[in-house]
Structure 1
Amino acid sequence: MDDFITIKGAKIHNLKNIDVRIPKNKLTVITGVSGSGKSSLAFDTLYEEGKRRYLLFSGTQFMVDTASSFQSITGLSPTVAVEQRIIRQSNPRSTVGTRTKISNMLAIFFSTFGKRNEAFDDGIPLSMEMFQKNSPKGMCVKCLGKGQIYKIDEEKLFGNRSKAIDELVFELAKRGTTRKMMDSFCKYYGVSINQKTSTLSEEQFNALKYGDGGKTAFPGFMQWIMQVINSPSSRLKYLLTEDGSLTYVSCPKCGGTGLGQQAIHTTVGGKTIADLENMHIKDLLNYLKLQKDISLGSNLLNDIIIKLECMVDVGLHHLSLSRPVPTLSGGEIQRLFLASFIIAEMDSIIFIFDEPTIGLHEVEKEKLISIIKNLVCRGNTVVAVEHDENFMKAADYIIDIGPNAGIYGGQRVFQGTLDEFMTCNNSKTAPYLAGSKKFTVKTEYKPINVDKILTLENASLHNLHNITVDFPLGLIIGVAGVSGSGKSSLIADTLVPKLKELLKTKFIGEQEDDEDKAYENYSDVAIKGIENIGKCVVVDQKAIGRSRTSCPATYVGIFDRIRKLLANTDEAKENGYKEGLFSVNSQGGCRVCKGDGVVHYHVGYGNFIDLECESCGGTGFVEEAMEVKLKGKNIREILAMSVLEAVDFFRDIDKPIYNMLSILSQVGLGYLKLGQQTPTISGGEAQRIKLAKELGKRQSKNSVYILDEPTTGLSFDDTEKLINLLQKLGNNGNTIIITEHDPIVLSNCDYIIELGPGGGSDGGYIIATGTPEELKENNKSIIGRYLQ
């Protein structure tokens, strides 16, 4: 049997017909600069072919006859991809507990060993479904399992009696069916729709608010609002929320658990299933170990404990089973999948990982590396796309793709052992590993201006222990700490919402569109020094677009200019073509595939296969749009260009487009295609696109930029470029707050705030603050020993 997986002639995306050998039953790391072709090799070639062969022999109806992206692959066994793309995990009701099936096991445990409150014992035997909030038998009848309900502030909405009837809920009640219902109300009561509510009698005003028992078609504003806001993508819900008239509060019937009466009045060891699901996994594990005598003779509790121990081992000790999966970072999602594979004890599998160390502190990476190496010891082959130095040094084999990004990459620069890799002169990565090239690390730190400090007081969300934190303005501030130490609770969940509330129009960030997100109460949290902030820009890793037809060119605002340029060509003018022809969401979209370029077919078990649309040849555009050319390129060819190619193309055509593309290149996205579908863009890439968009605007001083792990997905070389860009931004008088694990980035901050000392219930304290030099000397600091 061959000891290698051999790939010959790989040529998908930017790969240039390369041959690669991957040793079986070893840990192989694929490295290279961002956009060099690593994922094209690991996921789009190796994993996709493994999946195709499975479909071929599983009796599926789809015998796909498409152009092969390689010449041959031999030695392939069943392949599992463990990716970090968060866009695929979008069900708000999916939690850590449901994803790992531990919630189901706890439900069985409670139905078997639970002790009921006699006052709520209806004589019906307990069943598993009674402890599941997504089950009709187990959900709260008031909130239908959500745990929260909408609450309308009547005083805020109706307290101003100088408003006219039709002004009560903005412009939305002035048209369509609602307008007809209101007209019938006005006719019955003999009032005008423009009449002030102060002129209405008490009976008329109450009927307007709560309805009149069917005398008119209008159900009353309270009922009408509840009907409208529960419809998908309700504009009214957004307006009322912004206005403060509508809040999302804990359901009074179930206490926010989402569970029915039987579940919330049944306990094991004095705790309900909701109590257990809300515990940090590490605390839950310790608690269940004390309950072992409850379930003597049952293997169920042992099975739950084994699963929880595995989750602690992969660095998820700080999560709770009730945590919604869409709120997890890409790295946490990946480790959640990793835990389930370890529990399954599989062998002879090819595992492909996408930067498994993302989101982990230096002290936690060692444990993860040993777990992944243990997969190899069990007889599996592990291939990881990775930028982490320690992970590379733990590998049995290295494949380097490059030398640069996009069209300037896609070549096999190196394959072999780590020792051999250290002497590779063509690689952008090897010199950093060998120590012949070192990062620039600042030695002079900006001084703190005591008159310009942003102070956050009484932060106590999640595991934060009512802490007060000073953010010196005008500095680059690093926020460090192990996983679950409270970094996100402090910055993303407390500081950001509070700044949004106080700065209003001076706050720039993504709109929250998850209707199941609770609007937390920050009334105890106070901020001082906000008058020193010009504006706040939040640059997070949330997706930049949900639809398959959205792309980076649209998001950064250059697609409109490109369409105008095409519409202004002589050919377009002669034929009367307008800008809409060059958009797949308008007249230009293929009628068959709706602009996707592919047609999707379901092949079972939640898997889809995409086949190229025959009508448009995979372009997504109608034929007329493809005929018009700008400097020899049509709309499809322009969108297929990488940022680096497009910089040269637009240099003498359009200055604003050229400037924006140059900034995208500076943030390490030179390889990105202008028309790349946003669902395929990782969280780290999405964040850098947002950063570029902001940097492309006119810069103002005294701005606060908040970034969440901006080095995600960046190679050593790209990290250096990003650090230089952030230093420039900081030197212009701005404040940059970075939540980060990378010791190189933290070493280049002026000031570090470190949370800890542990994760979950062991975290939530400020354990060290000061310059990187001061943290290196501070015995309480954990990150200090890793700083450069």
Structure 2
Amino acid sequence: MNGFIEIKNARIHNLKGVDVKIPKNKLTVITGVSGSGKSSLAFDTLYEEGKRRYLMFSGTQFIVDSTPSFDSMTGLSPTVAVEQRIIRQSNPRSTVGTRTKISNMLAMLFAAYGVRDDKYNDGIPLTMEMFQKNSPKGMCVKCLGTGFIKELDEEKLFEDLSQKIEDVCLGLGKRGITKRMLDSFCKYHNISPTDKLSTLTDEQLNFLKYGDNGKSSFMGFVPWIMHTTNGAFSTSSRLEYLLTNAGYMGKASCPKCGGAGLGEQAAHTAIGGKTISELENMYIKDLYEFLATVPITSPLLSEILVKLNCMVDVGLHHLALSRPVPTLSGGEIQRLFLASYIIAEMDSIIFVFDEPTIGLHEVEKAKLIEILKNLVGRGNTVIAVEHDEKFIRSADYIIDLGPNAGVLGGELIFQGGFEEFLYCKNSNTSPYLRGEETLEMEKRIRTIDMLNVLKIENAALHNLKNVTAEIPLGLMVGVAGVSGSGKSSLISDTLVPKLKEMLNTKCITDDEDEEFTYESNNVIISGTEHIKKCFVIDQKPIGRSRTSCPATYTGMFDRIRALFAKESGLSAGLFTVNSEGGCKVCKGDGEIHYHVGFGNFINLECEACGGTGFIPEVLEVMLDGKNIKDILSMTVDEAAEFFKGKDKSIDKILATLSRVGMNYITLGQKTPTISGGESQRIKLAKELSKGQNAKDAIYILDEPTTGLSFHDSQKLLKLLRELVDKGNTVILTEHDPYVLSNCDYIIEMGVGGGNDGGNIIAAGTPKELKQNSNSIIGRYLK
């Protein structure tokens, strides 16, 4: 039997006919600069072919007639991809517990061993469904299992007495059934829909708000709103969207279930004195310790403990089962999937990982590497796209692609063992590993003025223990700590929402998903008078649709379409797949998506448009020999050359994308294929390209070097230093010792994760942390 997976002439995206051998039952790392072709080889070639072959022989009766992107591939076995692309994990009801199936197992445990409160024992046997908030038998009848109810600010809705009756509820009283009911109300009370609220008597205003006991057919605006928006919190209806945006409607914890989403039986049944909601809200590490002491002898409980222990092992000890999956980072999502595969005890599988060390502290990486080596020990093949030095040194085999990004990459630079790789002359990675090149360290020591600070007081969200933190301004400030130590709770979930509230329009952020904002009312933030603007640049996906891409997100595409419109005399709307220029068959997607069973989809090129997403007439229009699809297929570097001198705004956006290390992406790359780290750098480029030369601004970033090689991290750090040199503050939540060593000031959270975290254990310059015995990150700083 051949001990290798062999791929001949791989040529998808920028791969230039790569021939590669990957040893089976080993840990292989694919490395190289960002955009060199690593994901193209690991995911788009190896994984996609593994999936295609599996589906072809699994009885789905689906024959895929697609053009292969390689000549041959041998030695392949079933292949599993473990990615960190957050956009695919967006079901708001999906939680850590439902994803791992531990919530279902706990529900079964409670049905079998739960002890009921005598007052609520109706004699009906307990069933698993009674402990599931997505089940009609288990959900709270008031909030329908969401844990939230809508809250209407009646006072605010009716406070402007100069508004007309028909304009209450933002004018929705002017049409349809609402208009007929309102007309009936006005006719009965001898008033007009155009009368102002100030002309009504107190009694008439009360009738308008709450109804007139059936005298007219209008039930009153307040009952009508609550009836129309249907009780449970959602932003699906237009009315609710408008009310929420205008600040008239919000959400509050359901008073009946206390936010648990569960009904009476679940709320009054316990194991070891705790309800299922209390268990699901515990940190996984604490939950494991609690359940290990419960006096129940059951294979079910043993299985739950095995799963929980596995999640602790992969560094998810700080999560709770109730945590919504869309709030997890890319690294946490990936480790959640990893835990489920380890529990399944599979062998002879090829696992393909996308930077599995993302989001892990230096002390946690060794444990993850050990777990992946255990997967190999069971007879599996593990392939990881990775930049981390510790991970590369631990690998059995290394594949290096490059030498550079985009069209300057896509070549096989090296394949073999680590010792050989150290002396590979053509690699951009090996010089860093052998110590010839190092990440340039900040030599300048900036003055730290602790009188000019942004101060957070009384931070007690999640595991934070009434934290007071001082962030000195005009510096690069790193926030460090192990997973679950409270970094995100302090910055993303406490500081950012408060800054949005206090700075209002001066706080620039992508509000794509407001579903998971946290209340932090007792927190006091001072020092905002020193801040002129705040930019929150996180790893959430860019764009809201599948046809979104870097060109549309940065605003560059409007300028490009205007150039095509000017050249052709046609409307600019023709040059977008979202309008009249989009293919009518695939709706501009370029692909037709076929469900082939088991939750899998096969995407095939749309025959009507040949995969372009455009109607034929659009593609006939040329700009210097290139049509709109050709331009969307260009990398940032290629586009910079093509557009030079054509449009200053396009030039500036492209130059900034290149400076943040995104020179290798194509202008039309689809949002779902862009990782969290890439999304963040595109957002940074968008803000920087506006050219405001902001001073006294604050930039908040979440692990900005995610997905970057040593070579590319250098470029990004240089850019961040320039921002600070101009008089701005940069706050980074970060694990990378090189990045933290380049900070002027570090706040370290800990000492552990979950209940063992939530405190500031050290604060000061990198030099001070190296000498601080309380600091964990100090021993790794350069």
Q: TM-score range by the shorter chain?
A: over 0.9
The 5 Å alignment of 1:703-782 reads: 703-782=697-776
Worse-matched range after superposition: 56-65 or 753-762:
56-65
Separation in 1 of the partners of 2:286 and 2:488? 20
Displacement after TM superposition at 1:232 (Å): 4.9
Q: Which of 609, 628, 631 is the equivalent residue of 2:621?
A: 628
Query: Does the alignment pair 1:783 with 2:781?
Result: no
Q: Deviations over 1:70-114 (max 9, x none)?
A: 000011111111111111111111110111111111111111111
Counterpart of 1:248 in structure 2 is 251
For the 8 Å contact 1:546–1:679, the answer to whether it is kept is: no
**Structure 1 pair 589/213, CA: closer, same or farther in 2 (3 Å)?**
farther
The 5 Å alignment of 1:332-731 reads: 332-515=332-515, 517=516, 519-569=517-567, 572-573=568-569, 577-697=570-690, 698-731=692-725
Please tell me the residue identity of whatever aligns with 1:710: P
Displacement after TM superposition at 1:177 (Å): 4.8
The 5 Å alignment of 1:163-174 reads: 163-174=163-174
Secondary structure at the residue paired with 1:672?
A: coil
**Structure 1 pair 512/72, CA: closer, same or farther in 2 (3 Å)?**
closer
Q: Deviations over 1:294-326 (max 9, x none)?
A: x22x21111111110000000000000000111
**Structure 1 pair 669/489, CA: closer, same or farther in 2 (3 Å)?**
same
Separation in 1 of the partners of 2:761 and 2:450? 21
Query: Does the alignment pair 1:287 with 2:285?
Result: no
Task: Report the number of matched residues.
Answer: 778
For the 8 Å contact 1:584–1:595, the answer to whether it is kept is: yes
**Structure 1 pair 528/134, CA: closer, same or farther in 2 (3 Å)?**
same
Separation in 2 of the partners of 1:168 and 1:60? 54
Counterpart of 2:275 in structure 1 is 272
Secondary structure at the residue paired with 1:123?
A: coil
Separation in 2 of the partners of 1:587 and 1:161? 44
Secondary structure at the residue paired with 1:334?
A: helix
Secondary structure at the residue paired with 1:494?
A: helix
Measured on the aligned residues, the alpha-carbon RMSD in Å equals 1.5
The 5 Å alignment of 1:259-338 reads: 259-291=262-294, 293=295, 295-296=296-297, 298-338=298-338
Secondary structure at the residue paired with 1:604?
A: coil
Please tell me the residue identity of whatever aligns with 1:699: N
Separation in 2 of the partners of 1:673 and 1:219? 55
Displacement after TM superposition at 1:446 (Å): 1.5
Displacement after TM superposition at 1:165 (Å): 2.1
Separation in 1 of the partners of 2:729 and 2:661? 22
The 5 Å alignment of 1:42-53 reads: 42-53=42-53
**Structure 1 pair 738/39, CA: closer, same or farther in 2 (3 Å)?**
same
Separation in 2 of the partners of 1:679 and 1:755? 32
Please tell me the residue identity of whatever aligns with 1:99: R
Separation in 1 of the partners of 2:412 and 2:342? 31
Query: Does the alignment pair 1:185 with 2:179?
Result: no
Separation in 2 of the partners of 1:72 and 1:426? 27
Separation in 2 of the partners of 1:521 and 1:514? 12
Separation in 2 of the partners of 1:552 and 1:671? 12
Displacement after TM superposition at 1:170 (Å): 3.0
For the 8 Å contact 2:360–2:482, the answer to whether it is kept is: yes
**Structure 1 pair 436/701, CA: closer, same or farther in 2 (3 Å)?**
same
Displacement after TM superposition at 1:238 (Å): 4.7
For the 8 Å contact 1:405–1:670, the answer to whether it is kept is: yes
For the 8 Å contact 2:235–2:241, the answer to whether it is kept is: no
For the 8 Å contact 1:486–1:763, the answer to whether it is kept is: yes
Q: Runs of 5+ in structure 2 lacking a partner?
A: none
Question: How high is the sequence identity, in percent, across the aligned residues?
Answer: 67
Separation in 2 of the partners of 1:658 and 1:9? 35
Separation in 2 of the partners of 1:658 and 1:583? 21
Counterpart of 1:56 in structure 2 is 56
For the 8 Å contact 1:705–1:736, the answer to whether it is kept is: yes
Please tell me the residue identity of whatever aligns with 1:41: L
Displacement after TM superposition at 1:180 (Å): 4.5
Q: Deviations over 1:719-751 (max 9, x none)?
A: 000000000011000011100001111111111
**Structure 1 pair 437/102, CA: closer, same or farther in 2 (3 Å)?**
same
The 5 Å alignment of 1:213-232 reads: 213-229=213-229, 232=235
Please tell me the residue identity of whatever aligns with 2:489: S
**Structure 1 pair 622/217, CA: closer, same or farther in 2 (3 Å)?**
farther
TM-score by length of 1: 0.97
